[in-house]
Structure 1
């Protein structure tokens, strides 16, 4: 081999260092690319012939190959975008790219790609797209169960369709009623016998312990009852109904519950509708519940067939006092205490925001204060991820050597409102650049020295 072999070895070194320089250049160029995985360079030697013993062999040439760093985590940086996400640990987002747009409809490629670039934002069509133009895929969730629908991820598209209203079916009610209520009538008539009871005499209309309250008797009723709190409920089409509740004591350990009906302005129109009666044991616990007109009792629940306030009504609304939530314990205030009301309905709502949580679910927020989980984001893993094929946009494609993607059993987790930065560090790349530059210069020096030696050999015959 001799001098010509030395030239060949040096030239191979020049090619190898050029390969390393190209990788360094690409890494530096992508040092700010979200989700980028740098390429390092590995050098290998090619042994020249010359015998079976090293003593008779020469070092030979070299060649360079790229080494993937997919398994090396980039720094995770917080961002103030609700739909950004990073992967902490192993795994890739499953994405695809647009193929064409026909009549305003986006058609997608059949090929899946995989990326760590989680800077996704919702575009005008509702798709989740990152800065490289890849469309995020995930499992659609069943709105009733919250479980994924199907086994294959699909392109995520979030609709602007309003969230439909939900009718109120139940009100959970907690209250403690005082044994002696301090009504306005009682405060105005100190010492009057039974001043704390419902006023049934001396009113314009006939008031009994089992009757509804008309406008003619409204003031007298309010003066001889106490507030039981209020709550807004919703009917079938999401119309809100403000329900104001009042309690009136009718006898020792016996109370009537009413709600403000406001069904007109005439004297005989209903002002308050009676829901029913509750009686208590001497220890203050609930004894029995008796229904009013149009109301049934089921255990500790009043079942109101039609709850009507003004011209608006809601059918089949239950008022529940489950778990000993209605009591008559001693109270110094003379008012209902520990009052807490909740209901299960809501009005229709417009989409106001999209966010991602740490469990990898995309959640939609609506103007009616409701939140819905729409999609679950899977993470893909590979048996040999270093064999993935790099494609444009900090993404990868599966190959026969990488194996098929596995969408379960990932050790990675999603970090909301964050992105994974490039794992290429400029300082490290510059240090490698210095070594590469010196090695390239040394190889070029070998070529120069070999050329001078050839000139000397040629001059021998002159």
Structure 2
């Protein structure tokens, strides 16, 4: 059986090397395929049962050896919906068995590293292999989850409605000695407001009328400005000023009307006639929050506003310039439409809106497996779970997601060429074994002639 065994072994060698060449060919063909994982070939010897002294080297079988855990190079793209994973894990994708207009998704998800996703006409994120990205979709206006966490993401083309300003956060420092335009170091009390010079006393009434605007501007310092929004999204700019009424005692005004009549209210105190006070150490002693009822600016009704100074956000310390240094924010905004999409490192898909707001649109599902190389290969650079790979476990788990990037194939062309040369030589050597065994058999046949 020696010669016949050699023939059989050589045939197995030809088959194994052919299989290896097939894998090499596939790797080279997919060297530019996004998210492709090359397939290496492992060889296993097959030994017949025989005594130790008669053990033969045996024939050979070829098996695929996956390289799913070997990451390809990340390449930056110009498409914000492209995604790449750094570390373990796979995008969860669904296969559409219907049409793009009426998709019917297979209930069994697949897994891929191919992240060249883009939006289709229905707002789904679809990669180049026509696989639909799975995750959780959110309503950008309310933040509520829409749909299932195991269904394809569908980016909502939803606008964000206007939100009325309800709270203004105000922090900063007021100078111990303010320096308004009328301040003079040689004039004691010129750092304060002087009610005697007003047609209507702003301290006792909490208002500045049109006839007193020039005087008021000369005896107060700027307190910053903030854009506020009414219930229908109309924007108005609220100007604020500080007037010192006495030591450690201030009044804050906002401009209610920029074009008032002589007797009309131009500036309105945010706290009526109640001053805002500080102790000798410059810490605020008055209320943390002030309520402005029915705030109106230049005829636009903003509504009720809570002015929040924070726990220690407003102080009174010496300042060489004698000016306030405010930081002001508010919680309202205008109507906005979707202007752009970005992907964060934690897998959240964020929407940017024309009103300057950002909102979470979706959360991408990322799956992990105990044995990545035991996944079953599918077309489209996708995989399916097997009993050997174990069930998917979802979550980022240290994996970092990069937006506007894709993972390239992990195929190394030069390495594949080297393997191809070795495979070709091994294949040729097996053919020589076959021709030699054939010649030896011919010699045996010639003996009996």
**Fold equivalence (TM over 0.5):** yes
Aligned residue in 2 for 1:293: none
Q: Residue 75 of structure 1 aligns with which residue?
A: 73
Cα distance between partner residues in 2 of 1:249 and 1:411: 55
Name which of structure 1's ranges 20-29 and 314-323 shifts more when overlaid on structure 2.
Answer: 314-323
- Would you say 1:327 and 2:325 are equivalent positions? no
Indicate conservation of the 8 Å contact 1:121/1:128, yes or no. Answer: yes
**Separation (CA, whole Å) in 1 of partners of 2:384 and 2:281:** 73
Map 1:201-240 to 2 at 5 A: 201=196, 205-211=199-205, 212-240=207-235
1:451 is paired with a residue whose SS is helix
Q: 1:345-400, CA deviations, whole angstroms, 9 ceiling, x for partnerless residues?
A: 22222222211121221111222222222322232122333332211111111234
Question: How far apart, in 1, do the equivalents of 2:396 and 2:234 lie?
Answer: 46
Residue by residue over 1:283-324, the C-alpha shift from the partner in whole angstroms, topping out at 9 and shown as x without a partner, is 443343xxxxxxxxxx32210111100121122211122333
TM-score in terms of structure 2 length = 0.89
Alpha-carbon deviation of 1:223? 2.6
Contact 1:199 1:221 survives alignment (8 Å): no
Residues 456, 363 of structure 1: CA spacing in aligned structure 2 closer, same or farther, 3 A cutoff?
A: same
TM-score (norm 1): 0.86
1:394 to 381, 394, 405: 381
8 Å contact 2:141–2:159 — kept in the other structure?
A: no
Asked whether 1:271 is paired with 2:266, we answer yes
Q: Matched residue of 2:301: which SS? A: strand
Q: Note if 1:315 corresponds to 2:312.
A: no
CA displacement, residues 91-136 of structure 1 (integer Å, 9 cap, x when unaligned) = 111001222237x343322221100112222333322222212111
Partner of 1:306 in structure 2? Answer: 294
Quick one: structure 1 residues 6 and 186, their matched pair in 2 at CA, closer, same or farther if it must change by over 3 Å?
closer
Match of 2:251 among 253, 256, 262: 256
* Residue equivalent to 1:171: 168
Q: Which residue of 2 aligns with 1:292?
A: none
Per the alignment, residue 406 of structure 1 pairs with 393
Structure 1 spans left out of the alignment, 5+ residues: 289-298
Conserved? CA contact 2:37–2:68, under 8 Å: yes
> How many matched pairs?
445
Change in 2 beyond 3 A, CA 1:185/1:99: same
Helix, strand or coil: the match of 1:337? Answer: coil
Aligned-partner Cα distance in 2 for 1:184–1:66: 84
Inter-partner Cα distance in structure 2 for 1:53 and 1:193: 117
Which residue number corresponds to residue 453 of structure 1? 440
Change (3 A) 1:445 1:263: same
1:60-89 per-position Cα deviation (integer Å, ceiling 9, x unaligned):
433222222222233334444433332222
Per-residue deviation, residues 2-43 of structure 1 (Å, max 9, x unmatched)? 433322222222111111110111011112222211111122
Name which of structure 1's ranges 146-155 and 379-388 shifts more when overlaid on structure 2.
146-155
Tell me whether 151-160 or 439-448 shows the greater mean CA deviation. 151-160
What are the residue-to-residue correspondences of 1:112-131 with 2, within 5 Å? 112-131=109-128
Other structure's SS at 2:391 match:
coil
